[in-house]
Structure 1
Amino acid sequence: MTDFDVDLFVIGAGSGGVRAARIAAGYGARVAIAEEFRVGGTCVIRGCVPKKLMVYASRFRDEFDDAAGFGWTIPETAFDWPKLVAAKEREISRLSAIYRANLEKAGVAMIDSRAEIEDPNSIVLADGRRLSAKIILVATGGTPVLEPEIPGRELAITSNEVFDLPVMPPRLLIVGAGYISVEFASIFTRLGSKVAIASRGENVLRGFDDDMRCGVRDALVEEGVEMHFSHLPTRIEKIDGGLRVHLTSGLQLDVDQVMMATGRRPHTKGLGLERAGVKLDGVGAVIVDHFSQSNVKSIYAVGDVTNRIQLTPIAIREGHAFADTVFGDKPTAVDHAHVPTAVFTTPELGAVGLTEVEAREVCDCVDIYQASFRPLKATLSGRTEKTMMKIVVDGRSDVVLGVHILGEGAAELAQVLAIAIRLGAKKADFDATIAVHPTSAEELVTMRARTARFERATAGPEAPDAVDAEFLNG
């Protein structure tokens, strides 16, 4: 039997790689993990955690404004961007140290170096050292792209750099309309920047429920975000005091910073995967099976580098399942259905399950229950913001297929609702549940009137694709 230096070598100490390394070590495997940047990966260092801290910072503006309606007198406020950046840095450094300490406690060898694959069982480090491994796990995540490829794009930044800007940009253009774009638009406009979004699409948040997409868009516009749909930059140039961006519409925008948020790609370039015979897809993602194994028997991959679902909890679950499968003798395939997600705009969007459009594609009868209301807090604060809720139901079986919420605490609700939907809860189960009053969440169990039904007619031999949609006003 061939003797390897380690049983498992993990490339990338982000959420998925760290979880896999710790669990594998717990099963008795000899494990080493390499990281070329900072332990913790995108989520901890330049993703979910620092972003959520900035979301909290941005929401204090609303709290200050709302306080007057509840009898509070608030003195003049001021925001200090460098102070927030420094506080953020202290927190992510603390978390990164915890990740490193947990790896050490588990007995994992930490290597602060870039690592590349030389062959199916060999790793070469940046200093030239070579290690052999029975199993190699690629957990290098994803990286933002600077697109479109236009003159001057090197003047733009991505979500990697936005957290550490020395000065908060008074004028910011964000290119793209996905969750990263709208989240930072919401953050910066509340912190005091003048924000614009430019996107090739006609709305924000492609892939989310259409009603929620419109709700997020309208909330951003109401806060002062300037929308330029169906328009992309053609050129970025330096001017005195900032940047000038030329759009396909012919419009010119003078801003202080341009942030590209047009997508992320698997971070596989230069890792040696092709040299080892690992198959990649068209965007560079490692192609894996249900157990995260590539076509090369000794090489696995988890997280964003596989481009399955780009969410931190997915990477963690896949990393754990990999270790259970390979080193724990417990074959485990991750179920990628019923995954809850959130968009941390203000108001925030929480969702789990199918959108209305997705449900109508797979079910012959879909019932919609929908509500829009002013939350109790807004009655005294004077805020016009509304909460939106939508329940998507299989009209034949009464099974709840999806729930979508736009409003305060939506992400927290989506997490809890995911349990019910995963267990196959029916609309009747929601209806039979006692409400907690007064809360916004009680609307989820008091929506009794169906607002719409979409029913596909039985197709006859002469009209196999015939579809009939019935809309009912509840």
Structure 2
Amino acid sequence: MGDATQNEHDVDLFVIGGGSGGVRAARIAAGYGARVMLAEEYRLGGTCVIRGCVPKKLLVYAGRFAHEFEDAAGFGWTVAGATFDWPTLIANKDKEIARLESAYRRNLDAAGVEIVPQRAVLEGPHAVRLADGRRIAARHILVATGARPNYGLDIPGRHLAITSNEALHLERFPARIVVQGGGYIALEFASLFAGLGAKVTLVHRGDGLLRGFDQEIGALIAGELAAAGIMLELGVTIDAIDEMEGRRRVRLNDGRVLVADEVMLAIGRVPNTVGLGLETAGVQLNPSGAIAVDAASGTNVPSIHAVGDVTDRVNLTPVAIREGHAFADTVFGGKPWTVDHSLIPTAVFTEPEIGVVGLTEAEARAQGRRLDIYKTSFRPMKATLSGRQTRVFMKLVVDQADDRVIGAHMIGEASAEMIQLVGVAMSAGATKAVFDRTIALHPSAAEELVTMRAKDPSSDPLPAAAE
């Protein structure tokens, strides 16, 4: 960087948003010698650390102990007098979040990034305005403001509902809760609240859960949730919410009324683009309200870039981190690369949990591929003594053209851990023959991934175009 650049701009990179994507980009850019300033008006860590993945997973762990206590009896253990205290869980969760936020701050400080704890908005292609009135000139600007829960239900009493944000900070544990939504956030919170002892009703307008996942996964998890005592109300929506003696009265669109301590809306998330000055800077949005970017996270304004959920590409923390890293390497490190969004392992932390990677069967067929489908369903070894009525399900989608495994879908304990390594194999282009010749680890659920031999009899119908 020459003297002209130093004099023309206050910083080389200004990052708006202190979540995982923005922090990674700031650190990597600073490591290349860039002068970096990062503005965050709330807390460092973003959705994942403060109000998403991390605190949610801690609550998921808490919800699983009840099952563990029940299962212990079949193995000779007597667990008497176990009690649960919601305030203790929330307080310990908050301590861990504070620790992680401090770690984010230390890492940024160590990298030489200047942290500005206030809101910043765009004033042009190379300028941002801070809440205190300061104007900062930047050679490059990165928007990494993430997304927020969708409050989109235009119904009476909407203000009485909570979202995933507030669910993590409730002062009192809700003995009864109604959750609206059919995606992974709705299912995870319904599952963890049920595990902690709440009476849960899941309301969803569709007739199936987890749209976009393999159809069999959605059907099987519905059965597991129902078996856990969660009431599934599919094909209905909430029409109104009102207060009744400190509780919530929920009217459904079929006329029925439910009573609960809390109502949680989990009907999707929307990009945080409002009030950022994007229009002033001439940055284009796509129809969903997200910032439109190219494969290199560039907008239509050459000096302005965006990563993470604000772009509404693949809204997962590890994706935002890789996008931020790729941006910094490309713009400041002279090592251009882009993120491949085509093969991303994903987990849903219900009980039991779900792990998926690659194409669903429906997606593969829509591409005109001829497929071999391998499936297995079995009672996990642990359940033979615990007596729990649950099953593990695994499915591999294989392209007949080259025998490559192009999709893997599973439900059962440790599915998230297994699917990460299945993703490694698939990223390397592993074929079904490679899976087959891998020696099984026995006894484990994972061994089924390399011992499946029988094809689904209906796995090779002709593509619709060929019929």
TM-score by length of structure 2 reads 0.97
Q: Deviations over 1:86-127 (max 9, x none)?
A: 000000000000000000000000000010001111111111
- For 1:471, the equivalent position in structure 2 comes to none
Q: Which amino acid aligns with 2:327?
A: F
Whole-angstrom CA distance in 1 between matches of 2:386 and 2:418: 23
Match of residue 111, structure 2, among 106, 109, 112: 106
Match of residue 173, structure 1, among 169, 175, 178: 178
Alignment of 1:359-370 (within 5 A): 359-370=364-375
- Look up the SS of the partner of 1:132 in the other structure: strand
Q: Deviations over 1:392-436 (max 9, x none)?
A: 111232110111110000001111010111111111111100000
Matched-pair contact (CA < 8 Å) for 1:156–1:257? yes
- For 1:452, the equivalent position in structure 2 comes to 457
Q: Which amino acid aligns with 1:342?
A: A
Q: Does 1:140 align with 2:145?
A: yes
Q: Which amino acid aligns with 1:351?
A: V
- For 1:340, the equivalent position in structure 2 comes to 345
Match of residue 57, structure 2, among 36, 52, 56: 52
Whole-angstrom CA distance in 1 between matches of 2:403 and 2:137: 54
Match of residue 222, structure 1, among 209, 223, 227: 227
Q: Does 1:160 align with 2:165?
A: yes
Whole-angstrom CA distance in 2 between matches of 1:333 and 1:289: 10
CA positional deviation for 1:147: 2.6
Matched-pair contact (CA < 8 Å) for 1:369–1:452? no
Matched-pair contact (CA < 8 Å) for 1:363–1:394? no
- For 1:291, the equivalent position in structure 2 comes to 296
Whole-angstrom CA distance in 2 between matches of 1:456 and 1:202: 25
- For 2:241, the equivalent position in structure 1 comes to 236
- For 1:251, the equivalent position in structure 2 comes to 256
Whole-angstrom CA distance in 2 between matches of 1:29 and 1:241: 54
Matched-pair contact (CA < 8 Å) for 1:370–1:447? yes
Whole-angstrom CA distance in 2 between matches of 1:96 and 1:409: 28
Q: Which amino acid aligns with 2:209?
A: V
> CA 1:98/1:433 → structure 2, altered by over 3 Å: closer, same or farther?
same
Runs (5+) with no aligned partner, structure 1: 460-464, 468-474
Q: Which amino acid aligns with 1:99?
A: Y
- Look up the SS of the partner of 1:291 in the other structure: coil
Q: Which amino acid aligns with 1:336?
A: H
- For 2:11, the equivalent position in structure 1 comes to 6
Whole-angstrom CA distance in 2 between matches of 1:400 and 1:269: 41
- For 1:213, the equivalent position in structure 2 comes to 218
Match of residue 421, structure 1, among 426, 430, 447: 426
Q: Which has the larger displacement, 227-236 or 100-109?
A: 227-236
Q: Deviations over 1:146-191 (max 9, x none)?
A: 1321111011011111100000111101111100000000000010
CA positional deviation for 1:466: 4.2
Matched-pair contact (CA < 8 Å) for 1:365–1:453? no
Q: Which amino acid aligns with 1:170?
A: A
CA positional deviation for 1:363: 3.5
Q: Which amino acid aligns with 1:77?
A: A
Alignment of 1:262-281 (within 5 A): 262-281=267-286
Matched-pair contact (CA < 8 Å) for 2:368–2:463? no
CA positional deviation for 1:456: 5.3
- For 1:23, the equivalent position in structure 2 comes to 28
CA positional deviation for 1:376: 0.8
CA positional deviation for 1:281: 1.1
Match of residue 70, structure 2, among 65, 82, 104: 65
Q: Which amino acid aligns with 1:54?
A: L
> CA 1:283/1:364 → structure 2, altered by over 3 Å: closer, same or farther?
closer
- Look up the SS of the partner of 2:173 in the other structure: coil
Q: Deviations over 1:242-280 (max 9, x none)?
A: 011111111111111011100001001000001100000
- For 1:351, the equivalent position in structure 2 comes to 356
- For 2:330, the equivalent position in structure 1 comes to 325
- Look up the SS of the partner of 1:189 in the other structure: helix
> CA 1:458/1:206 → structure 2, altered by over 3 Å: closer, same or farther?
closer
CA positional deviation for 1:453: 4.2
- For 1:462, the equivalent position in structure 2 comes to none
Runs (5+) with no aligned partner, structure 2: none
- For 1:396, the equivalent position in structure 2 comes to 401
- For 1:439, the equivalent position in structure 2 comes to 444
Alignment of 1:310-321 (within 5 A): 310-321=315-326
- Look up the SS of the partner of 1:20 in the other structure: helix
